[in-house]
Amino acid sequence: MRTTRIIVSAALVVAMAAAATTETAAQEADEAQVVRVEVNPSQLTLQVGEKGRITATAYDADGSVVDVPFLFFSRDGRGRLAVDRNTGEMEAFKGGEYTVRARALVPSRVGGTATVTVPYPPLDRVEISAAGGRFYSGVMVRHTAYAVDQAEDVRDLAVTWVTSDESVATVDRFGVFHAHAPGEVTLSATVEGVVGRIAYQVIDNPVTAIAVAAGQARGRTGDVVHFTATPSAADGSPVDDIPVTFGLIADPDAIATGDFPPAEVDSRGRFVAYKPGVYTVTASVPGHTAHATVEILPRHVVEEVSLVGHAPVRNVPTSDLWVWEGVDGRDYAITGTHRAHGSTYWWDVTDPANPVLTDSLVVDARTTNDVKVSEDGGVCVISREGASNRRNGIVILDCTDPRNIEIISAYDDELTGGVHNLFIHDGHVYAVNNGVRFDVINIEDPANPHRVGRFELDTPGHAIHDIWIVDGIAYTSNWGDGVAVIDVGGGGRGGSPENPVLITRFRDIGGATHAAFPYKSPTGRFYIFMGDEIGAPPFDGQEIGRTPEFMAGYIHIVDFTDPENPEEVARYEIPEAGSHNMWIEDDRLYAAFYQGGLRVVDISGELKGNLYHQGREIAVYKAYDPDGVVANAPFTWGPQMHKGNLFFSEYFSGMWAVKLEPRRALIP
Amino acid sequence: MQPAITAALLAGLPAHAAAQSYWAYVAAESEDEVALLRYDAGGDLTVEKTITTGWLVAEIEAPHGLAMDPVGEYWYLTLGHGFPNGRLVKYETGSDTVVGVADLGLFPATIAVPPHGTVALTVNANFHGDHVPSTVTIVDLETMFPVAEVVTCTMPHGSRFNADGTRHYSACMMDNQLVEIDGATLEVARRLDLVANEPARAPIEGHMAMAPPDGHCSPTWTTPHPDGRRVFVPCNRGDVILEVDLERWRVTRRIEAPGAPYNLDLTPDGTRLLATLKGSAQVGIWDVETGRLLHLVDSLLRVTHGVVATPDGRYAIVTVEGVGGDPGIVEVIEIESGTRVASANVGKQAGGIALWKMEG
């Protein structure tokens, strides 16, 4: 009651009546003087499906009962033990030991707890992660057992593995099943007396030889080399269904103690090296091993970066950019602003060394986060957040003459939550709305925009952050829901702007998808680059406006060549910063990494592993501006390649343009 | 001699007035900041500290509602934007560091903490989503566990407990309802249709509400009177403040309030009603007994938002959002004279406000 007493004492002096009114409840509660709460019973056992109840009683210092309301709940019982918050009645759904709190709704904040034990019900079954069937002698495969109880709860319990005939096969305590000789054998996993079984028929290993071939004899760091193993029988016929184990003998040119592994090979024989050297990949089946060696050379992709120009914005943070060829044939850029005054800037970047501010516009907003231009270069659309009337939405502009930007219309119907990102595709604006869905706004007549469709995931707690569209397919970034691929007219699933149709969805490792960029590689593979956005509360004592910011996260690279079976195959993760927006063109990833600056990465060929360690980084550029919003603090927001110049927006300093200098051939 | 007293004497003010200092937290929604301000009576309004809120510097997480722990050990803040749900964040006063977080619903707004301080009721306003019934989240403030979500209505706002914490009130901006929650059971006790002026039914979950037509209420706040007999509710679209008699459960008085009344407060003695007039960028001060408008105070910028009366009933502390690049402004208005006596700039879109303490 420390501060309240300060208020009360002051109020007594100045306005007795005031204190009497505002402090009534506190005084009454003080009078109650609840010092102890007893929960009865304090220990309770319920069977699954059984109901029970606890009660709580409050006492004052004299031991007298005080009549106060209670709030009952259980944090660790969430989803497992239902608790009626008013009555203390409970129903057990799954086994476990739970703490149920009875919070007295009084100022002393006292409460009591009861321990509710719900004995786990008997196990219903034990499931094994394989179906059984034919198995070759000599082969080893690890199995996993899942113990499921009668409440459909998968339990973490000790498993005892046995085989029915150890002369045929044995199994260790980790479930590694090893076949020794032909015969029928049952693999059993026993958990608390419940047994799960699968039957194997072990047959002679027909393999008499194995060969392995590397897809190429020489490669560079980061190249994915496919090793193909061919086990064969005595008659020379291939044996396709025997598991092959790939191993690696590494001889890198140089390695330091504690360094990351110089190369890796996976269960499908896909190999990638992080360091130059000579690597021997082994392919083994029981009794037979083959090997093949590949030479890995340095990738040698580093290029010089030269500064071309800077369009400074030094009074407010800059957000997204878009660079395009205007209808007059000159080149222009548009940049938005963040936590500012609703301003947007247009630049003539025909001479990127000397960007010229052509026009600016202030709309009722604090953030114009996203800025996009129609395919024909005539219509600009900017997003609004922080409008004073809280209606936000989008603003549609005539930018045929970027020296004279004119507002054509504004559209905010049901877009009031703030449009954070948008995309223009074929006469429609796809506007991310309120963080939960995208709306499709027809702007074929930009003076009369109208909604024609919308799309929202149906997963629990779904969210959306960004959208990108290529050839009638939308790629949305959905935080914990990953990336969603949606047919909006080009996906062959009957989708249209009026009727977006979900094609597939993929959640990457981590689940912080902030931006996604699709890329059809010349290899024929189709990748989606999924960028995280991960932050943390600011450090205590930071001086706002004078301290650089820090972000984390990385780019996940997912092979979507088979959209029904996407596979996360690679990443671009740098240790010192997190990812933001990106652009991909001609086998190059241009990625903004906040305090890590602008990164240019060679993504040619097949991708595997962490590209950061593979010598694929072509360039890193950090834009330092001593006069920036925060001085000398690179915080790269978004890149775009345009006619050979790499433009990018910097949060603290505006738009920059750099140029990559082609590598010069070595002269022996 | 204390500096504040010195300043007051120099200004020719009574020494007892100068001895008071008032501390308030103010949320700047488009800056992701909370400012801690101190007003020395008769002196300056000073930003003592600025606290950055949220997790992602690159996203606006929209700090909106503020509430104090009744004993002043903690303060509570809603963040409107999350992934997609917002959060309730618990800070320790003084150090102003985060000590707990609870997940809420879509765009949580106002927070109410009853006098016992054990729970918070936060309205999930879902300002920008479909117009379907939303919820009030009950959070246990020791564990920061969201115990339950109580379905109330479409776009709930203006979460407030009565003086003894036995009743909680919130308004439904799209359903024109006043909803009363029992402070003991934390269940909806009754509803009042503010337009028809009769008890109302719960909106059907999952069904879209129609936006109130112009000229109707669109209530944005609730302020229970300290006498425990009535609640004041502003009709943001009706330019009127309604007085609801809690015994009769009817609107019994309509106080004209041109300028789109938005947030309310009462002086602790219940004699003065304060309202931000969002549309006219003013603050209104009424005599509660007569309903007479005493003062209409122009704000320095547009979009007045929050208002709190100081515990001694002398001042109204008001937040003003501003427009676009305007700074947010906090203004101190002397209630008796209806004059602005101090102001200070804070981050953009100043909205939520909570009075921490009065010293002196």
3-state secondary structure chain B: CCHHHHHHHHCCCCHHHHCCEEEEEEEECCCCEEEEEEEECCCCEEEEEEEECCCCCCCCCCEEEEEECCCCCEEEEEECCCCCCCEEEEEECCCCCEEEEEECCCCEEEEECCCCCCEEEEEECCCCCCCCCCEEEEEECCCCEEEEEEECCCCEEEEEECCCCCEEEEEECCCCEEEEEECCCCCEEEEEECCCCEECCCCCCCCCCCCCCCCCCCECCCEECCCCCEEEEEECCCCEEEEEECCCCEEEEEEECCCCEEEEEECCCCCEEEEEECCCCEEEEEECCCCCEEEEEECCCCCEEEEEECCCCCEEEEEECCCCCCCEEEEEEECCCCEEEEEEEECCCEEEEEEEEEEC
- Give the model's confidence band at A13: pLDDT under 50 very low, under 70 low, under 90 confident, else very high: very low
CA–CA distances in Å: residue A324 to residues A329, A468, A654, B113, B171: 9, 17, 17, 53, 48
Residue A611 Cα to chain centre, angstroms: 18
Shortest CA distance to A658 belongs to which of A620, A610, A630, A626?
A620
Of the ranges A117-121, A231-235, B55-59, B259-263, which one carries the lowest mean pLDDT score? B55-59
How far is residue B86's CA from residue A209's CA, in Å, rounded to a whole number?
62
- Give the model's confidence band at A418: pLDDT under 50 very low, under 70 low, under 90 confident, else very high: confident
Q: Does A315 touch chain B (CB under 8 A)?
A: no
Q: Does B16 touch chain A (CB under 8 A)?
A: yes
Which has more confidence, A31 or B338? B338
Q: Which residue has the tokens 């009177």?
A: B225
**Looking at residues A229-247, what average pLDDT do you find?**
95
Q: What is the pLDDT of residues B196-253, one digit of tens each?
A: 999 998 877 665 555 555 558 999 999 999 999 999 999 999 899 999 999 999 999 9
- What type of residue is A667? I
Residue B128 and residue A417: Cβ atoms within 8 Å?
yes
pLDDT recorded at residue B67: 97
What residues of B are in contact with residue A435 (Cβ under 8 Å)? 81-84
pLDDT recorded at residue A545: 58
**Pick from A17, A365, A551: CB nearest B324:** A365
ipTM comes to: 0.89
Whether A17 shows a pLDDT value over 50: the answer reads no
How far is residue B50's CA from residue B31's CA, in Å, rounded to a whole number?
11
A210: left (phi over 0), alpha (psi -120 to 50) or beta: beta
**Looking at residues A51-80, what average pLDDT do you find?**
94
Which residue of chain A is at minimal alpha-carbon distance from B148?
A85
Taking the CA of residue A414 and the nearest CA in chain B, the distance in Å comes to 7
- What type of residue is A269? G
How far is residue A394's CA from residue A384's CA, in Å, rounded to a whole number?
6
Which residues face A70 on adjacent strands? Answer: A104
Whether B50 shows a pLDDT value over 90: the answer reads yes
Taking the CA of residue B178 and the nearest CA in chain A, the distance in Å comes to 22
**Looking at residues A210-215, what average pLDDT do you find?**
97
Give me the torsion for CA of B92, B96, B101, B105, rounded to 10°: 110
Tell me, what DSSP letter sits at residue A652? T
What is the average pLDDT score of chain A?
A: 91
Q: What is the pLDDT of residues A113-162, one digit of tens each?
A: 999 999 999 999 999 999 999 999 999 999 999 999 999 999 999 999 99
Whether A3 shows a pLDDT value over 50: the answer reads no
How far is residue A571's CA from residue A529's CA, in Å, rounded to a whole number?
9
Taking the CA of residue B84 and the nearest CA in chain A, the distance in Å comes to 5
- What type of residue is A662? P
- DSSP H/E element including A28: helix A24-32
How far is residue A239's CA from residue A271's CA, in Å, rounded to a whole number?
22
How far is residue A387's CA from residue A415's CA, in Å, rounded to a whole number?
12
Answer yes or no: are the C-beta atoms of A163 and A185 closer than 8 Å.
yes
Residue B22: partners with Cβ closer than 8 Å, 6 or more residues away: B38, B39, B41, B310, B315, B317, B332, B355, B357, B358, B359
Residue A617: partners with Cβ closer than 8 Å, 6 or more residues away: A301, A302, A599, A600, A601, A602, A611
Which residues face A454 on adjacent strands? Answer: A439
How far is residue A410's CA from residue B130's CA, in Å, rounded to a whole number?
20
pLDDT recorded at residue B13: 40
Q: What is the pLDDT of residues A353-396, one digit of tens each?
A: 999 999 999 999 999 999 999 999 999 999 998 888 888 899 99
How far is residue A310's CA from residue A647's CA, in Å, rounded to a whole number?
9
How far is residue A18's CA from residue B313's CA, in Å, rounded to a whole number?
7
Q: Does A249 touch chain B (CB under 8 A)?
A: no
Residue B30 and residue A535: Cβ atoms within 8 Å?
no
Q: Does A490 touch chain B (CB under 8 A)?
A: no
How far is residue B135's CA from residue B150's CA, in Å, rounded to a whole number?
5
pLDDT recorded at residue B351: 96
Q: What is the pLDDT of residues B325-355, one digit of tens each?
A: 899 999 999 999 999 999 999 999 999 999 9
Q: Alpha-carbon torsion A251, A254, A260, A262, what sign?
A: negative
Residue B186 and residue A85: Cβ atoms within 8 Å?
yes
Q: How many Cβ atoms are within 10 Å of A662's Cβ, its own excluded?
A: 8
CB pairs under 8 A between A and B: 232
Residue A433 and residue B128: Cβ atoms within 8 Å?
yes
pLDDT recorded at residue A509: 83
Q: Which residue has the tokens 């776009």?
A: B155
Q: Which residue has the tokens 């309205």?
A: B123
pLDDT recorded at residue A543: 56
Taking the CA of residue B37 and the nearest CA in chain A, the distance in Å comes to 16
Shortest CA distance to B340 belongs to which of B267, B262, B281?
B281
pLDDT recorded at residue A414: 84
**Looking at residues A607-616, what average pLDDT do you find?**
97
Of the ranges B3-17, B108-122, B127-141, B263-277, which one carries the lowest mean pLDDT score? B3-17
Q: Alpha-carbon torsion A28, A34, A39, A40, what sign?
A: negative
Answer yes or no: are the C-beta atoms of A297 and A219 closer than 8 Å.
yes
Q: What is the pLDDT of residues A432-460, one digit of tens each?
A: 987 889 999 999 999 999 999 999 999 98
Taking the CA of residue A575 and the nearest CA in chain B, the distance in Å comes to 18
Answer yes or no: are the C-beta atoms of A467 and A432 closer than 8 Å.
yes
Considering chain B, what percentage of its residues have pLDDT values greater than 90? 78
pTM across the whole model: 0.89
Which residue of chain B is at minimal alpha-carbon distance from A11?
B312
Residue B324 and residue A11: Cβ atoms within 8 Å?
no
b or e along B128-137 (b: 16 or more beta carbons within 10 Å of the residue's beta carbon)? bbbbbbbbbb
What residues of B are in contact with residue A388 (Cβ under 8 Å)? 302-303, 321-324
Q: What is the CA radius of gyration of chain A?
A: 32
Residue A107 and residue B54: Cβ atoms within 8 Å?
no
pLDDT recorded at residue B133: 87
